[in-house]
């Protein structure tokens, strides 16, 4: 075997290396001397992020076509890294709390392992690699969800998560086995694509596709595979929730795109276009309808993220142009959602309050947090001139670019849902700025790390809609890797 | 010419706007006033330098060997490129009318800045006032230096905004607020016409640039391909629509209604915006595109008619007003209409396009003496705290400086030799007589009316009878900041007529020698003197002749006093017909169909949201069942549909 091929896996190797460094440092440092671990990991991670941004993609396909390192994959990894970095910044204070101090190394290690898994999901061109990635991205997450040892909800959430995750893996495997049978015994994406193009539209394929959608849809929390989301988001520690809601979703969305558009692209219009059509409409609408009624901010964000996942999935309907818009959407979603979560996390860690009612009159005591929260809500709702507006516009235009009436209707439904989402996003803004009465949350100062995280999110929300740099970056990456064809 | 000075011309006032607008609150008012004035003095110096170099340096980039002044684009950068064709540039076009306007704007703006220091001294929001003045100066300068019609349109709207802000400066007065809204809405409505005109014009001709549009008018006409609409050529439509914008800004009938109300703003603002600079933007617009207007005789005729009717109407109304600022406002409308008529009658074959030169000349002299009159009126109002001449009378003894400068202004506007108005008015009248004696006599009559109403006001304010209120409150001349601008402008009004204006500004940018037409001069002079004598006979000393005249024709007096009911007509149309008729139906539709649909949408959403609550039961078994059923149903439905 040619070991030099591992050289093309540089992003994975960097993350793996970082994992080992953190793991060793954590293991061999004394109890009570772990104060430096947080800045150490965060700074190293920042360096690795910069490195992944800067290293050019080799464009090589290695291990006989099991793994690819192209510009689009690398761009996606870089975007995920930004999300993880912001999560680290948010989590910095939480990991310093008394019950966490002995275990904070584990937090970073688990996150890094899951990130490694996501990298594999993104770059996989063979279902075996994909499953390894998916599982190593899923299972440690259960441990992360259960991280608050003393909280009953955290345990409940972890149990619910692991049970559903295992079940979804089973469904996914079942689906894959049908695909395996169909392709005549190969799990390579290329072989399956060939078999699908040449083969018939058998029932096996349909069930396989439906199970694949269900399996990956679990990670994306698409409706009706989403029911775990709210309970898990609510129960998990907030840093983990924000990680789950953005980074994990981003990776799954990218993998979903690669699998469905590149492997099953041939049967798009006869088979899975309609499956996804239904799933997207359900996801956006049901997510919205539930989000309207939530009183707990984390549950609220859970349903909001379900609905957002529906918007992300619109990119799947639009070919490679959709991939560029989808990556940009994910980036914007990362900064907007993490902006909101940063505020929720800061307030929760200082006061323990997560109810939406607690946010009444927040601007009187914490104007800056209120400001960030408002921006994040505006961006998530897609109000110009914030980034969320442009990401929605771009993903809608990419979907309508194919000039199909059905897809126009899909965009129309999505647009109507944007109006509904405006309602509940503005509920938060209303609570913060308009509701009368004394503020329920007293004034406090955020930590330095939280502030850096908030500033990054605000910059992302305000500038990256107006400055097209990130979109151009995604567009160029996709164009170089796959070419833009509608 | 380097780009430093032109850029500074725009950058200085804009920077002042930002500095005073953002930092003004923190500044003592004296500091704000002083830096505003100093910045304006710098601006004045730069504008004078640029204009001086343009007219006198003899540099071949400004004037070629044949003595034709050049149109120079100092810079012209792409600002917004929407499509290949729709490209908006921002630039600086230097040509004779632009250089002249630079002089006018910077002079009057400086005078007003200085004057306001005294006039506005005790007003709250002093810093805000200076910030708005700077914004206006910036916008007006941007308008006159525009290289293309789109840039002009942008700055056109900006002057509209700054005018709105300044008219409504006393925002606690309901009358000022409604006047500012009225001004903005009326001019904005007119600008809609202008925008349509621009769209029509550039739909056919692929450039916004003024030089492209005006240097080879044949190609513009050719690009239209003889298209016509409702009996008039497309070019005529475009030009008339563009002129509509000018009608709004320059207060031509029937869009004049905002200008008299705009007098609610501070008086120096009226002098700057509503007498000397912004209101002549319409004249400037026509002058800027004059070669195109020459291609369409009917567009020029339209301008002539609108101008002639407006000039007469405004002059008649001005004879019956009580508020001295309103008199001046109507006088402004009348004089701008004069300029419009003069442009409308200009033809290259009649004294080498004399009307154009005369119009620009009058624009220049009028700016000076009308600013003088407004500032003088400001000094009067400052002294007696009322706008009405009934609160004045016999003021010549108390306010000598104001009296003499005001008299010079009145003589200038009445067209008495050797004051500046005589020369410009004489050229305009010659141009009108040369096209058709009818317009000549008509406008001579307007000139006579002008002399009459100006001296009516002059005598009623400074002679007539001393107002008894002076015993309690003795009026006196204004402080030096206000008197100095009055004296300077009065001096300019005395000598400006002797400027050989034809050497600087003509329609084809070649020198033209002004010569007084003795016949026209004699006629207009004698008409003016008779009108002044008549005014003196009526108003010099207190008597009951004016009251008797009023009683002889009560209906006419009342109608003229109420400005021939234009405002009532507008109110009737907007309130009764548009709001009461058309809008009611639309409002019903909005409330009962659109809103109801939205409400239904909302309540359905709420209802469904409540109904599906049970799906999220919290039990993981249910979740998995939903999950599995979801995957199966997805497969089953697809299967059923496909196979």
Q: Which ipTM was obtained for this model?
A: 0.88
Rounded Cα distance, A130 and B559, in Å: 89
Record the tokens describing residue B87, joined without a space: 């490209």
What pLDDT, on the 0 to 100 scale, is given for residue A335? 93
Model confidence band, residue B400 (pLDDT cutoffs 50, 70, 90):
confident
Most confident of A2-6, A300-304, B534-538: A300-304
Q: Does B400 touch chain A (CB under 8 A)?
A: no
Which residue is listed with tokens 């400066």? B169
Distance from CA of A206 to the nearest CA of B (A): 6
pLDDT for A313 equals 93
Which positions in chain A touch B638 (Cβ < 8 Å)? 206, 209-210, 271-272, 274-275
CB pair distance less than 8 Å for B620 and A225: no
Reported as a single tens digit per residue, the pLDDT across B521-551 is 888 889 999 999 988 888 888 888 878 888 8
Residue B639 confidence (pLDDT) above 70:
yes
- Taking 80 as the threshold, does the pLDDT of residue B176 lie above it? yes
CB pairs under 8 A between A and B: 89
| Per-residue pLDDT band at B153 (split at 50, 70, 90) | very high
Highest-pLDDT range among A29-38, A199-208, A234-243, B202-211: A234-243
Distance, CA of B142 to chain centre: 14
Checking if the pLDDT of B499 tops 70, the result is: yes
Distance CA A397, CA A486 (A): 12
Contact partners, residue A89, CB within 8 Å, separation at least 6: A42, A449, A450, A452, A453, A456
Determine the average pLDDT of the residues in B365-375.
Answer: 91
Q: What is the mean pLDDT of residues B395-412?
A: 88
**What average pLDDT does range A424-446 have in this prediction?**
87
Residue B554, pLDDT > 90, answer no
pLDDT band per the 50, 70, 90 thresholds, residue B434: confident
Q: A271 at the B interface (CB within 8 A)?
A: yes
Is the Cβ–Cβ distance between B112 and B68 less than 8 Å? no
Taking residue A102's Cβ as centre, other Cβ atoms within 10 Å add up to 11
Report the share of chain A in percent with pLDDT over 70. 99
| Cβ-based contacts of B613 with chain A (< 8 Å) | 290, 293
Long-range pairs for B304-307 at CB < 8 Å and ≥24 separation? Answer: B304/B340, B304/B341, B304/B344, B304/B345, B304/B439, B305/B344, B306/B247, B306/B252, B306/B253, B306/B337, B306/B340, B307/B252, B307/B337, B307/B338, B307/B339, B307/B340, B307/B341, B307/B343, B307/B344
Q: Is the peptide bond before B122 cis (omega within 30 degrees of 0)?
A: no
Q: How far is CA A6 from the centre of its chain?
A: 27
Bridge-based pairing state of the strands B87-94 and B72-81: antiparallel
Q: What is the pLDDT of residue B337?
A: 92
- Cα distances from A164 to residues A169, A171, A282, A435, in angstroms, run 8, 10, 20, 39
What b/e sequence results for B45-64 when a residue is b if at least 16 CB atoms lie within 10 Å of its CB, and e otherwise? ebbeebbebbbeeeeeebbe
Judged by CB atoms closer than 8 Å, whether chains meet at B631 and A225 is answered as: yes
Mean pLDDT score of chain A, rounded to an integer? 89
Residue of B nearest to A272 (CA): B638
For the segment A463-481, the average pLDDT, to the nearest whole number, is 85
Please provide the average confidence, as pLDDT, over all residues in chain B. 87
Q: What percent of chain B shows pLDDT beyond 70?
A: 100
Within 10 angstroms of residue B38's Cβ, the number of other Cβ atoms is 12
What's the CA angle centered on A30, arms A26 and A35, to 5 degrees? 70
A233: nearest Cα among A133, A294, A154: A154
pLDDT at A486 over 60: no
- A210–chain B Cβ distance below 8 A for any pair: yes
Tokens at residue B329, please? 């406002």
Nearest to A275 among B615, B628, B638 (CB): B638
Cα–Cα distances in angstroms (integers) from residue A411 to residues A226, A329, B41, in the given order = 22, 15, 58
Flag whether pLDDT at B362 surpasses 60. Answer: yes
In the predicted model, what is the mean pLDDT of residues A459-463?
90
Cβ atoms A222, B642 nearer than 8 A = no
Question: If you average pLDDT over residues A210-221, what whole number do you get?
Answer: 92
CB A252 within 8 A of CB A89: no
Confidence of residue A1 (pLDDT cuts 50, 70, 90): low
- Which of A218, A224, A290 is the mutation pick for testing B, counting most B CBs within 10 A? A224
- CB B620 to CB A160 under 8 A? yes
Band of residue A485 on the pLDDT scale cut at 50, 70, 90: low
| Stretch among A52-66, A69-83, A294-308, A364-378 having the lowest mean pLDDT | A52-66
* 95-154 in chain A: CB under 8 A from chain B: none
Q: What is the pLDDT of residues B61-80, one digit of tens each?
A: 888 888 788 888 888 888 77
Contacts of B628 in chain A (CB under 8 A): 167, 171
Q: Supply the pLDDT for residue B101.
A: 92
Tell me the average pLDDT across A401-412.
88
pLDDT band at A352 (very low <50, low <70, confident <90, very high): confident
Report the range of poorest mean pLDDT among B195-199, B301-305, B473-477, B633-637: B473-477
Decide: helix, strand or coil at residue B77.
Answer: strand
Q: Which of A164, A225, A289 sits opposite B609 (nearest CB)?
A: A289
Task: For chain A, positions 273-292, list CB contacts with chain B under 8 A.
Answer: 274-275, 278-279, 286, 288-290, 292
* pLDDT digits 0-9 by tens, A5-26: 787 888 899 999 999 999 998 8
pLDDT at B643 over 70: no
Indicate yes or no: CB of B631 within 8 angstroms of CB of A289.
Answer: no
Interchain pair B623, A274: CB under 8 A: no
A387 to chain B, closest Cα gap in Å: 21
pLDDT digits (tens, 9 = 90+) for A191-213: 898 888 887 778 888 899 999 99
Residues B116, B120, B121: CA angle, nearest 5 degrees: 110
| Model-wide pTM > 0.90 | no
**Which chain A residue lies closest to B618 (C-alpha atoms)?**
A231
Residue whose structure tokens are 């309690």: B472
pLDDT band at B46 (very low <50, low <70, confident <90, very high): very high
Q: What span, in angstroms and rounded, lies between the C-alpha atoms of A465 and A469? A: 9
A318 touches chain B (CB under 8 A): no
What whole-number distance in Å separates Cα of residue A339 and Cα of residue A359?
Answer: 16
Q: Which residues of A touch B631 (CB under 8 A)?
A: 171, 210-211, 213-214, 225
């Amino acid at each position: 075997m040619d070991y030099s091929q591992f050289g093309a896996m540089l992003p994975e190797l960097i993350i793996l290396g970082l994992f080992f460094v953190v793991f060793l440092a954590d293991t061999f440092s004394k109890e009570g001397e772990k104060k430096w671990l947080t800045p150490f990991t965060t700074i190293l991670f920042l360096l690795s992020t910069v490195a992944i941004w800067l290293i050019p993609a080799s464009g090589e396909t290695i291990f006989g076509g099991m793994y690819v390192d192209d510009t689009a994959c690398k761009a996606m990894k870089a975007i995920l890294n930004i999300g993880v970095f912001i999560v680290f910044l948010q989590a910095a204070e939480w990991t310093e709390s008394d019950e966490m101090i002995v275990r904070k190394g584990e937090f970073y290690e688990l996150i890094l392992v899951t990130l490694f898994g996501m990298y594999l999901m993104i770059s996989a061109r063979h279902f075996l690699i994909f499953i390894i990635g998916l599982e190593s991205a899923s299972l440690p997450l259960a441990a992360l969800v259960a991280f608050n040892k003393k909280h009953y909800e955290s345990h409940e959430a972890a149990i619910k998560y692991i049970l559903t995750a295992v079940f979804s893996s089973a469904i996914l495997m079942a689906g894959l086995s049908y695909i395996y049978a169909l392709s005549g015994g190969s799990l390579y994406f290329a072989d399956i694509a060939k078999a699908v193009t040449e083969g018939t539209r058998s029932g096996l394929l349909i069930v396989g596709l439906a199970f694949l959608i269900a399996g990956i849809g679990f990670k994306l929390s698409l409706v009706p595979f989403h029911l775990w989301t709210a309970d898990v988001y609510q129960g998990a520690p907030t840093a983990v929730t924000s990680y789950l809601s953005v980074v994990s979703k981003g990776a799954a969305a990218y993998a979903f795109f690669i699998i469905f558009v590149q492997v099953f692209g041939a049967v798009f219009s006869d088979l899975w276009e309609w499956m996804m059509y239904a799933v997207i409409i359900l996801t956006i609408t049901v997510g919205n309808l539930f989000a309207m009624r939530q009183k707990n901010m984390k549950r609220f964000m859970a349903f909001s993220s379900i609905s957002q996942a529906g918007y992300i999935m619109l990119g799947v309907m639009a070919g490679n142009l959709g991939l560029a818009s989808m990556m940009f959407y994910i980036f914007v979603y990362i900064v907007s959602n993490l902006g909101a979560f940063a505020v929720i996390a800061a307030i929760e860690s200082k006061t323990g309050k997560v109810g939406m009612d607690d946010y009444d009159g927040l601007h009187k005591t914490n104007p800056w947090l209120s400001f960030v929260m408002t921006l994040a809500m505006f961006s998530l709702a897609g109000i110009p001139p914030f980034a969320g507006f442009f990401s929605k516009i771009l993903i809608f235009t990419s979907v309508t670019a194919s000039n199909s009436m059905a897809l126009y209707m899909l965009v129309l439904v999505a647009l109507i849902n944007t109006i509904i989402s405006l309602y509940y996003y503005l509920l938060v803004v209303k609570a913060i700025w308009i509701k009368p009465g004394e503020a329920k949350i007293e004034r406090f100062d955020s930590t330095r790390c939280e502030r850096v995280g908030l500033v990054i999110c605000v910059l992302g929300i305000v500038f990256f809609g107006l400055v097209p740099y990130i979109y151009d970056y995604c567009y160029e990456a996709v164009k170089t890797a796959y070419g833009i064809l509608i | 010419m380097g780009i430093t000075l032109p850029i500074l011309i725009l950058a200085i006032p804009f920077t002042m706007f930002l500095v005073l607008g953002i930092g003004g609150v923190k500044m003592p008012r004296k500091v704000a006033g002083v830096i505003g004035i100093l910045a304006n003095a710098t601006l004045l110096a730069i504008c004078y330098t640029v204009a001086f170099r343009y007219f006198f340096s003899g540099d071949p980039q400004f004037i070629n060997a044949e003595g034709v002044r050049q149109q120079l684009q100092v810079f012209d950068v792409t600002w917004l490129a929407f499509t290949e064709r729709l490209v908006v540039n921002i630039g600086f076009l230097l040509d004779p009318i632009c250089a002249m306007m630079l002089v006018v704007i910077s002079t009057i703006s400086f005078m007003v800045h200085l004057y306001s220091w005294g006039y506005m001294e005790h007003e709250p929001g002093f810093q805000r006032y200076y910030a708005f003045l700077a914004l206006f100066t910036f916008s007006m300068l941007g308008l006159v230096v525009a290289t293309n019609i789109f840039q002009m349109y942008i700055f056109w709207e900006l002057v509209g905004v700054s005018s709105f802000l300044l008219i409504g400066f006393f925002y606690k007065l309901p009358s000022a607020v409604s006047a500012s809204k009225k001004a903005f809405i009326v001019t904005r409505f007119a600008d809609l016409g202008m925008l349509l005109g621009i769209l029509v014009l550039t739909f056919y001709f692929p450039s916004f640039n003024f030089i492209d549009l005006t240097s080879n008018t044949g190609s513009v006409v050719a690009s239209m391909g003889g298209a016509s609409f409702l009996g008039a050529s497309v070019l005529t439509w475009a030009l008339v629509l563009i002129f509509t914008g000018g009608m709004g800004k320059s207060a031509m009938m029937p869009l004049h209604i905002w200008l008299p109300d705009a007098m609610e703003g501070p008086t120096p603002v009226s002098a700057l915006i509503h007498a000397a600079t912004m209101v002549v933007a319409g004249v400037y617009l026509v002058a800027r595109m004059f070669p195109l207007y020459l291609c369409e005789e009917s567009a020029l005729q339209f301008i002539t008619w609108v101008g002639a009717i407006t000039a007469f109407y405004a002059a008649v109304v001005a004879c019956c007003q009580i508020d001295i600022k309103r008199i001046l406002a109507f006088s402004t409308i009348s004089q701008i209409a004069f300029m419009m008529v003069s442009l409308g009658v200009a033809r290259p074959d009649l004294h080498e396009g004399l009307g154009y030169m005369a119009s620009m000349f009058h624009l220049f002299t009028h700016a000076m003496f009308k600013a003088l009159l407004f500032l003088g009126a400001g000094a009067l109002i400052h002294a007696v705290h009322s706008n009405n001449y009934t609160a004045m009378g016999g003021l010549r003894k108390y306010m000598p400086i104001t009296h003499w400068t005001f008299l010079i202004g009145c003589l200038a506007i009445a067209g008495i030799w050797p004051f500046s108005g005589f020369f410009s008015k004489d050229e305009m009248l010659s141009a009108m007589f040369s096209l058709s004696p009818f317009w000549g006599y008509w406008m001579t009559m307007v000139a006579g009316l002008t002399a009459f109403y100006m001296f009516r006001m002059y005598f009623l304010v400074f002679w007539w009878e001393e107002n008894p209120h002076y015993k309690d409150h003795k009026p006196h001349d204004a402080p030096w900041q206000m008197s100095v601008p009055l004296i300077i402008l009065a001096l300019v009004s005395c000598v400006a007529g002797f400027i050989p204006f034809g050497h600087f500004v003509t329609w084809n940018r070649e020198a033209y020698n002004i010569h007084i037409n003795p016949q026209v001069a004699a006629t207009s002079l004698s008409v003016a003197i008779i009108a002044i004598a008549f005014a003196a006979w009526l108003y010099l000393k207190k008597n009951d002749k004016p009251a008797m005249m009023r009683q002889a024709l009560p209906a006419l007096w009342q109608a003229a006093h109420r400005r021939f009911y234009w405002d009532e007509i507008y109110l009737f149309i907007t309130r009764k017909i548009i709001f009461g008729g058309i809008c009611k139906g639309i409002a019903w539709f909005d409330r009962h169909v659109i809103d109801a649909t939205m409400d239904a949408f909302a309540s359905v959403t709420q209802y469904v949201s409540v109904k599906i609550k049970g799906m999220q039961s919290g039990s993981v078994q249910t979740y998995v069942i939903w999950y599995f059923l979801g995957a199966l149903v997805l497969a089953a439905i697809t299967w059923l549909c496909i196979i």
